[in-house]
Amino acid sequence: MLLDVSSLSKSFGQTLAVSDVSFSVDRGEVIALIGASGSGKTTTLRMINRLIEPDSGQVSLDGKKASEVPAHHWRRRIGYVVQGAGLFPHFSIFENVGITPALQKRSPADIKETVISLLDMVGLPAQTYADRKPAQLSGGQQQRVNLARALAGHPSLVLMDEPFGALDAITKSDLIYDLLSLRERLGFAAVIVTHDLSEALRFADRIGVMEGGHLIQMGTIETLIRAPAASSVSDMLDAARRHSAEVEAAFSRAGPSG
């Protein structure tokens, strides 16, 4: 097991944003977190990354509890991709991707090699893009830089908050393909927040369904279909099935009772 999330809870004033959320992620495994707006997905990621501290519960990574490691060290071991934000506007693309390796005090030659190879892997060759500023890239290209930057510290875990949100269907599809091939090559695990179940089916080993701060169920799509833990899970699956061939195909795979 790589990541263990145990009974995490967080309130903001009267709002119980996350309530008693527990799950674990294996090395190299990809989890999709899905759920309505306000269901606690971002707050869960932010607690895993220690951008906010939980009211109760704990997180451990690679057998180390969060409480045993200073927050800034903890964060360097985890890649974090935030939708539509996060690139430093005055830094070049090269500098943006090289931030974490520089903080890790790796040698300039090592940093250069890492940045160039990651830019290449996400389809932005360094000769063309390394010296540009973020504003000189399209939204989809900036999202690729975000992905490269999140991987530059060689993290064993990457958290992504709606990384494909604002992209057109083709760009999104390309980026998911890139993500899957990067994962194949680099072997990281990921927790990826999405609103779109058919998108989740393309990259996730398991899917976690959040509602009202609770993690209602986490499992393979076949498990969710065969044994939904609540009517909200089956309602979500039925709604997705009506407009997604991928979800319909999962119902067929799950067997005749679906």
Ligand X SMILES: Nc1ncnc2c1ncn2[C@@H]1O[C@H](COP(=O)(O)OP(=O)(O)OP(=O)(O)O)[C@@H](O)[C@H]1O
Positions touching ligand X (CB under 6 A) are 12, 15, 17, 35, 37-43
DSSP string computed for 110-136: HHHHHHHHHHHHTT--HHHHTTS-GGG
Residue 50 contact partner, candidates ligand X, Mg ion, none, CB within 5 to 8 A by sort of partner: none
Residue 219 contact partner, candidates ligand X, Mg ion, none, CB within 5 to 8 A by sort of partner: none
- Helix (H) / strand (E) containing 31: strand 30-35
Which of 19, 39, 42, 156 contacts Mg ion by CB under 5 A?
A: 42
Q: Give the separation between CA 16 and CA 252, rounded to whole angstroms.
A: 37
In whole angstroms, the minimum distance from the beta carbon of 43 to ligand X comes to 3
Q: Classify 32 as helix, strand or coil.
A: strand
Q: Give the separation between CA 50 and CA 74, rounded to whole angstroms.
A: 8
Closest CB to ligand X among residues 39, 142: 39
In whole angstroms, the minimum distance from the beta carbon of 38 to Mg ion comes to 8
Residue 43 contact partner, candidates Mg ion, ligand X, none, CB within 5 to 8 A by sort of partner: ligand X
Residue 17 contact partner, candidates ligand X, Mg ion, none, CB within 5 to 8 A by sort of partner: ligand X
In whole angstroms, the minimum distance from the beta carbon of 167 to Mg ion comes to 17
Q: Give the separation between CA 239 and CA 234, rounded to whole angstroms.
A: 8
Q: Give the separation between CA 258 and CA 125, rounded to whole angstroms.
A: 46
In whole angstroms, the minimum distance from the beta carbon of 164 to ligand X comes to 14
Note the maximum CA span of the chain: 58
In whole angstroms, the minimum distance from the beta carbon of 164 to Mg ion comes to 14
CB 75 within 8 A of CB 158: no
Closest CB to Mg ion among residues 42, 142: 42
By CB under 5 A, name the binding residues for Mg ion: 42
